[in-house]
Structure 1
Amino acid sequence: MIELLKQKKKRTNGIKHCEIGWQSKLLSNSTYYRPCESQVLRLDTTIFETSRGTRMVHDRPDGRNPNQLRPLVCARGLLHRADGSARWSQDNTIVIAAVYGPKAISGRRENPARAVLEVIWKPKMGMAGPSEREAEFILKRTLEYIVLTAMHPNTAISVIIQVVSDDGGALSCAMNAACSALVDAGIPLKGLIAAVTCAVDKDGVIYLDPINKEEKEFHGHACLVFPGKPMSSFAPAGLALDSEPIERGIVTSVTKGILSAEDYLNCLERSRAASVKIAEFARSSLEKAQRGVELVVAS
């Protein structure tokens, strides 16, 4: 598990758990998911009651509730030369993932026990820098949890990430895109993953799926990756990650900024609930893709 946790002073956050509702409809070759206005938990006022007293909720630039995700879009099979590809977007954050392989390799990189997984992160503009190298490492370690590399020894599986636009949450968007592309390529997996980004303001109020402006202004934010329901026949019953049941475990945790232990645990709870909805959408998009629908959109 990749985890960076910076503690300042202990906080007590009494924000209640909030669920997210969804509705869907088919638009030509797309599956469109939108948070149901009647199902999303609404606040009577713009105030949260916490153990630290009454706290005002910041107005979000896009008008969303703190518990709402941005529109989701998933398109598969976009690149004909790749073995698998997917475009995953969360409103104005768009990432394309391409998968090549398994392909035979030789020399130092060859591993007789398993396939070698490599990740290349291409920024929207300019050359890749330290932040892109860090993202490559995080994404590689995450995908190694779900890819059944032992099924293809002496081969390499390449995952190419192209950031088309970044308005916050690019890492979690890339996680979801890479998982969708691996499925499109027919790579054996233990199961799917669902990545969620959340931000915390100075009062401990949690905001799901922050945009770039919110990530910069708020106290801290976290990218959390959760395992979805096992989808492969190779995954045994009771599959566990780091000794935790797969339905409750966490694959990757990356935090930036200042988060107290209490804030972090509240982020985990809120993000886990959101990841269930993202996983449901990913599975639905896969089912529709198998029926010939290549593009899946969600909001």
Structure 2
Amino acid sequence: MEETRRDGRRANQIRPLAAEQGILNRADGSARFVQGNTSVLAAVYGPAPAKSLRMERSEGATLDVSFKPESGITSSADAESEALLRRSLEEVVLRSRYPRTVVSVIIQVIVDDGAVLSAALNAATMALLNAGVEMTGMALSVTCCITATVSGRSVLLDPCKAEEIDAAATAVVATLSAGGGVLSCHAVGSMSQEEYFACCEAASLGTTAVRSFVRLSAEQKVNREAETVR
């Protein structure tokens, strides 16, 4: 018999999703992504001309990603999160279309109740869509954790903060919507090779639900805007 989690979910079930696009007037694109109680706001500025030679690339745009925690000053862990987010977004943004420019992505954590890095990538992707930045597909993410249960160690999809704290290991898996291939997998803690691949497989399946939600949310926004034009 499958054990239920403290919030009543099954092991392979993600939390309820919600999102809004275009909520910041001064940004070229913006989005709020909510997953359970976790809430993240992303803003995109650009593509805009690079203001320094250090940021200018003749072969394509530079992605400047800033990750701001829920509270306090930015830590080394936040800097690592910035690097992970930037690498995932660089895989999908068609930077060659925007030479000598900078695309700034600013991510602000509103509430961190688990899987915040996945929510941050999903918010950033929706903000880039809202800004009209060309991409090969959507970079979307789901987090998994390995936890001990009565029947042994098991994989939990989309853990809340309490589950992350109790977990033996976590894995943040980013996938590409076009084809569903894994873009990156950032694992922390102790897990076996079998558990690692189980996390990747579970997260890839979980991302299918996230992808459907993001597409539906974007389509609904377009339809609402079309209605206001009529």
What residue number does 1:222 align with? Answer: 171
What residue number does 1:209 align with? Answer: 158
Deviation at 1:248? 4.6
Task: Pick from 230, 249, 268 the counterpart of residue 181 of structure 2.
Answer: 249
Q: Structure 1 72/145 Cα, relative in aligned 2: closer, same or farther at 3 Å?
A: same
List 4+ stretches of structure 1 deviating above 2 A.
none
C-alpha deviations, 1:50-109, integer Å up to 9, x for none?
xxxxxxx3x522111111110101100000000000000101100000000011114222
Which one has a larger percent helix, Structure 1 or Structure 2? 2
What residue number does 1:61 align with? Answer: 6
Aligned: 1:140 with 2:78: no
Q: Secondary structure at the match of 1:108?
A: coil
**Counterpart of 2:113 in structure 1: which amino acid?**
D
**Counterpart of 2:55 in structure 1: which amino acid?**
R
**Counterpart of 1:217 in structure 2: which amino acid?**
D
Q: Where do 1:82-121 residues align within 5 Å?
A: 82-105=27-50, 106-121=52-67
Q: Secondary structure at the match of 1:226?
A: strand
Q: Who wins on radius of gyration, i.e. which is larger?
A: 1
What residue number does 1:78 align with? Answer: 23
Aligned: 1:165 with 2:87: no
What is the distance in 2 between the residues matched to 1:268 and 1:152?
Answer: 32
Q: Where do 1:7-86 residues align within 5 Å?
A: 45-46=1-2, 57=3, 59-86=4-31
Unaligned runs of 5+ residues in structure 1 are 1-44, 47-56, 230-246, 294-299
The 8 Å contact of residues 88 and 176 in structure 1, kept in 2 or not, is answered as yes
Question: Relative to structure 2, which stretch is displaced further, 271-280 or 132-141?
Answer: 271-280
Which structure exhibits the higher relative contact order, with contacts defined as CA atoms closer than 8 Å and separated by 6 or more residues? 1
Unaligned runs of 5+ residues in structure 2 are 226-230
**In the comparison of the two structures, how many residue pairs are matched?**
221
What is the distance in 1 between the residues matched to 2:98 and 2:16?
Answer: 36
C-alpha deviations, 1:176-207, integer Å up to 9, x for none?
00000000000000011220111112323111
What residue number does 1:39 align with? Answer: none
Task: Pick from 219, 223, 227 the counterpart of residue 291 of structure 1.
Answer: 223
The 8 Å contact of residues 185 and 200 in structure 2, kept in 1 or not, is answered as no
C-alpha deviations, 1:15-60, integer Å up to 9, x for none?
xxxxxxxxxxxxxxxxxxxxxxxxxxxxxx34xxxxxxxxxx3x52
What residue number does 1:155 align with? Answer: 101
Task: Pick from 106, 126, 132 the counterpart of residue 180 of structure 1.
Answer: 126
What is the distance in 1 between the residues matched to 2:153 and 2:159?
Answer: 15
Task: Pick from 269, 274, 291 the counterpart of residue 201 of structure 2.
Answer: 269
The 8 Å contact of residues 204 and 263 in structure 1, kept in 2 or not, is answered as no
**Counterpart of 1:225 in structure 2: which amino acid?**
A
**Counterpart of 1:184 in structure 2: which amino acid?**
N
**Counterpart of 1:60 in structure 2: which amino acid?**
R
Query: Could you tell me the percent identity over the aligned residues?
Result: 39
| TM-score normalised by length of structure 1 | 0.72
| TM-score normalised by length of structure 2 | 0.93
